[in-house]
Every structure is written in structure tokens, then in C-alpha cells.
């Protein structure tokens, strides 16, 4: 039973939302960031990059977090941000040139995370967990929701469709040709229908935002200890999420780029691969896998197709059948000496939504010796692994939609 509740969002006024909301901070290059900050006084990037005001970009740690809080207060004082008077759900639709996504922004429970009602598919780094927990503690808000997915549900779909027939609170386009729409759900019967529908759903799955959800849970534990009057209903016991039906997720693969061959020549490396794979040299012909357990490889100026020899590989559980795990078990660890794929300096991950030529160009540049590609993981494979209590290797999935910051803000 999933606990999903309405909340009083802090958000920009209708006339400024297109200027205020931004992509995730990490997406911007320094040049892009400077341009946004210089020419848009309303962008939320001013809040999360507070040193710009003082022409000082190297502020970090708690000093930066406290300045973020101050910039946020200034946005509220200038009426760029206002808080809704009553709790509500927020239906958000993102329309891209190739896809349309529509789900519900809501508050979700840290207890559900601890009780495994909200399940994760990737591990997290302790250092990043603590860093973001400290950020949340000092700023007092979260402006970017965790992406959760749930089984298709007619009751929730009915409410969403009802509001999509109305004028949206927000409707704006961005320079990447995406259109963003948001409706406020504050009718009590509609709120109850949504909450009841989620209460009948056994499991929610984290699609994106593992560190954000874990950090929110750590903060909740910390604030509970500091609050002698803790009841469990405080805002810090929940975190902001965007809940999207499974059939609307888009899942892409991550390519793997390796900086060296662990002392092997290309020919020696191919011989090592022969133990687990049937290898076909495709020359200059771009090869992209069309089946599970098939891999593409670019080495020494040529493409290769790798087909797993199932007689040489032991499938023991659902994780062992995952292509990213197979590549780690048969190649990355034993042949290339990459034991910790989460922190290894020898490996780069890059999502692939294009024609696959990145496998070639990054290696031809001289920065990498070999690259690997595979089929994307599907949602059923992800759920099977998670439900078995297992975690997928890092950078197994690149999941869309990617969400904007500051469409709605959750305070605690």
C-alpha cells in the first residue's frame, strides 16, 4: 500500500514559470550556465548558484548551501515564488518531439522507502547521500522530484484525463522544443480518488533519483531525532516525487568506454573474449545488438558483434541474466581489471539515444581503447531484479523523462 499525499507547493507565478524553471543543474556546461545567469534574472539557477551574485563561483559546502537558502528566500520575498494555500496534487505533462509523458507530482513517504514499498534498482554512494542530506537540511526545500513508476491504473488515468481537458495552470515551450503543461488538482474528491488508487498499489519503483530519495530518508531520520514532539505527519517524513505509469517510461542503454586494455594487445584481448563470446568482425559496418546477450564492440578501428556463449556462462538468478552484469562478469572485471565499476577511473558511461556512432568516435579520438554497447533494459527486467532483492550495476539504464527543476518546490 503506497502512501501518496497532496502538498502545498511553492512555485513560480504563471507569467514567470518559463523563465524560472530550469534543467537539472548538472546538465549545464560552465559556458551555458554563465549565459543563463547573465541574461535571465528569474532563472532558478540563480538560487542554486548563489555565488554568481558576488562574482564568486568557488563557494562550496555549507556556506554555499546557506547562500542557496538565502537566494531562495529572496525569490519568495520578490513574489517570484508563492506557496499554494491548500494542499494539492500536480499533473505534469512533458511533450518532446518524439514522446509524451504525463504523471502526478506528489509527496511520497519515507516509511514506504524503508518498508520496501518504494523500491530502488541501483545502489547509491554514501558520500553523495550525505552531501545531499546536508544540502536539504540547510536549504529547507527540494526543487527536483524523484521519478517513480507504477503499474497502469484506470482510476488515476481518469483523473488525469479530466484535468487535461481543462486549461492548464502552466503551458510553455523551451528551446529544446519541449512543451510543459501543469494542472493543479485541489478538488477534494479528485485528491481522494488519486490517494485511494495509490493505496491499492503494492509497489512503486524508483526510475531516477536514487540519491535524492535516500538523502531525504536520511534527513527524516535526523530531524525525527531532533524533534521531541515527532508525530510522523511532519513534512520531512515525505519527499517530492513525479509518479509516472510504467507504459510511459522511455529506457535507453548506457555505452561503456574503457581507457586501456589492462596490458593486453588488441589481438590478445580478442583471444580472451573468445572464452565467453562468439566474435564476428564487422569491419566498418556499424553493429547494434538486436537481441539480449548480444553486444557491440568497437576496437582498433573496427566494429565487432559479440554473442554470449550460453554454454560457457552460468545463469544463476535474474541479475545474472542482465546484459550489463554479464559484461561486468565476463569482461570488465576478469579481463580488463575493473573491479569497482562505480568508482573506476578506467571506465566512462555515456547514454545512447542516437545511431550508435559514439562507440566509434570516442575511441577514434584516442581517449579510449575499446567501447561496448548493448540493448536497453526493459521495465519488466528491471522489476524482476528489484523484486528479487537485487540491485543492478550503475549506469544500466538511462530513463526519461528528465525533469525540470523548480516547477514545484517541496518545503519541509
pLDDT for the residue numbered 354 = 64
**Helices 210-226 and 126-139: angle between axes, nearest 10 degrees:** 60
Spell 152-161 as b/e; 16+ CB within 10 A means b: ebeebeebbe
Q: Is the peptide bond before 257 cis (omega within 30 degrees of 0)?
A: no
User: Could you tell me if 307 and 359 are in contact, meaning their C-beta atoms sit under 8 angstroms apart?
Assistant: no
- Cell numbers representing residue 228 in the block: 521531541
Place of cell 567501447: 371
User: What is the 8-class DSSP label of residue 392?
Assistant: B
Tell me the pLDDT of the chain (412 aa) as tens digits.
899 999 999 999 999 999 999 998 888 888 999 999 999 999 999 999 998 877 777 777 889 999 999 999 999 999 999 999 999 999 999 999 999 999 999 999 999 999 999 999 988 878 889 999 999 999 999 999 999 999 999 999 999 999 999 999 999 999 999 999 999 999 999 999 999 999 999 999 999 999 999 999 999 999 999 999 999 999 999 999 999 999 999 999 899 999 999 999 999 999 999 999 999 999 999 999 999 999 999 999 999 999 999 999 999 999 999 999 999 999 999 999 998 887 678 999 988 666 678 999 999 999 999 999 999 999 999 999 999 999 998 889 999 999 999 999 999 9
Q: How remote is the C-alpha of 335 from its chain's centroid?
A: 30
Q: In degrees to the nearest 10, what's the CA dihedral of 271, 273, 279, 285?
A: -100
In angstroms, rounded to a whole number, what is the distance separating the alpha carbons of residues 394 and 391? 9
Structural domain spans, the chain = 4-248+400-411, 253-376
In angstroms, rounded to a whole number, what is the distance separating the alpha carbons of residues 232 and 94? 33
Nearest to 201 by CA among 3, 6, 383: 3
Contacts of 253 (CB under 8 A, 6+ apart): 351, 352, 373, 374, 375, 376, 377, 397, 398
Nearest to 113 by CA among 219, 249, 247: 219
Contacts of 355 (CB under 8 A, 6+ apart): 286
Beta bridge partners, 251, equal: 399
pLDDT for the residue numbered 132 = 94
Place of cell 582498433: 300
Beta bridge partners, 277, equal: 308
pLDDT for the residue numbered 403 = 92
pLDDT for the residue numbered 355 = 67
DSSP string, 115-162: TTSEE-SB---HHHHHHHHHHHHHH-EE-S-EEEEE---HHHHHHHHH
* Strand pairing class (302-308; 294-299): antiparallel
Contacts of 239 (CB under 8 A, 6+ apart): 107, 108, 110, 142, 146, 212, 213, 216, 217, 410
User: What is the 8-class DSSP label of residue 393?
Assistant: P
In angstroms, rounded to a whole number, what is the distance separating the alpha carbons of residues 211 and 124? 6
Place of cell 525525527: 224
Nearest to 392 by CA among 184, 240, 207: 207
Length of the chain: 412
Domain 253-376 has CATH 3.30.1760: yes
Amino acid at each position: 500500500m503506497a502512501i501518496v499525499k497532496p502538498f502545498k507547493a511553492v512555485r513560480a507565478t504563471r507569467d514567470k514559470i518559463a523563465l524560472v524553471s530550469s534543467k537539472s543543474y548538472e546538465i549545464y556546461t560552465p559556458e551555458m550556465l554563465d549565459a543563463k545567469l547573465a541574461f535571465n534574472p528569474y532563472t532558478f539557477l540563480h538560487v542554486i548558484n548563489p555565488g554568481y551574485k558576488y562574482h564568486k563561483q568557488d563557494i562550496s559546502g555549507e556556506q554555499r548551501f546557506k547562500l542557496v537558502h538565502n537566494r531562495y528566500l529572496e525569490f519568495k520575498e520578490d513574489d517570484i515564488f508563492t506557496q499554494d494555500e491548500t494542499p494539492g496534487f500536480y499533473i505534469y505533462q512533458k511533450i518532446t518531439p518524439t514522446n509524451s509523458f504525463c504523471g502526478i507530482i506528489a509527496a511520497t513517504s519515507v516509511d514506504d522507502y524503508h518498508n520496501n514499498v518504494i523500491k530502488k534498482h541501483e545502489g547509491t554512494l554514501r558520500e553523495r547521500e550525505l552531501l545531499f542530506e546536508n544540502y536539504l537540511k540547510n536549504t529547507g526545500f527540494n526543487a527536483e522530484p524523484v521519478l517513480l513508476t507504477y503499474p497502469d491504473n484506470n482510476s488515476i488515468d481518469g483523473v488525469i484525463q479530466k484535468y487535461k481537458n481543462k486549461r492548464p495552470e502552466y503551458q510553455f515551450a523551451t528551446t529544446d522544443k519541449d512543451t510543459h503543461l501543469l494542472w493543479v488538482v485541489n478538488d477534494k474528491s479528485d485528491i481522494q480518488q488519486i490517494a485511494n488508487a495509490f493505496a491499492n498499489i503494492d509497489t512503486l519503483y524508483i526510475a531516477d533519483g536514487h540519491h535524492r530519495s535516500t538523502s531525504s530518508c536520511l534527513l527524516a531520520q535526523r530531524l525525527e531525532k531532533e524533534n521531541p514532539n515527532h508525530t510522523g505527519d511532519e513534512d520531512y517524513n515525505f519527499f517530492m516525487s513525479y509518479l509516472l505509469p510504467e507504459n510511459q517510461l522511455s529506457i535507453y542503454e548506457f555505452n561503456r568506454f574503457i581507457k586501456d586494455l589492462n596490458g593486453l594487445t588488441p589481438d590478445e584481448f580478442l583471444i580472451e573474449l573468445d572464452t565467453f563470446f562468439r566474435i564476428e568482425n564487422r569491419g566498418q559496418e556499424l553493429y547494434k545488438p538486436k537481441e539480449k546477450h548480444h553486444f557491440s564492440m568497437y576496437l582498433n578501428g573496427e566494429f565487432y558483434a559479440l554473442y554470449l556463449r550460453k554454454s560457457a556462462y552460468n545463469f544463476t538468478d535474474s541479475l545474472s541474466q542482465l546484459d550489463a552484469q554479464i559484461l561486468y562478469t565476463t569482461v570488465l572485471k576478469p579481463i580488463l581489471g575493473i573491479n569497482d565499476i562505480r568508482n573506476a577511473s578506467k571506465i566512462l558511461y555515456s547514454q545512447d539515444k542516437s545511431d550508435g556512432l559514439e562507440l566509434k568516435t570516442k575511441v577514434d579520438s584516442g581517449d579510449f581503447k575499446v567501447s561496448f554497447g548493448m540493448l536497453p533494459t526493459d521495465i519488466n527486467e528491471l522489476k524482476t531484479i528489484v523484486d528479487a532483492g537485487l540491485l543492478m550495476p550503475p549506469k544500466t539504464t538511462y530513463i526519461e523523462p528528465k525533469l525540470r527543476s523548480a516547477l514545484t518546490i517541496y518545503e519541509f
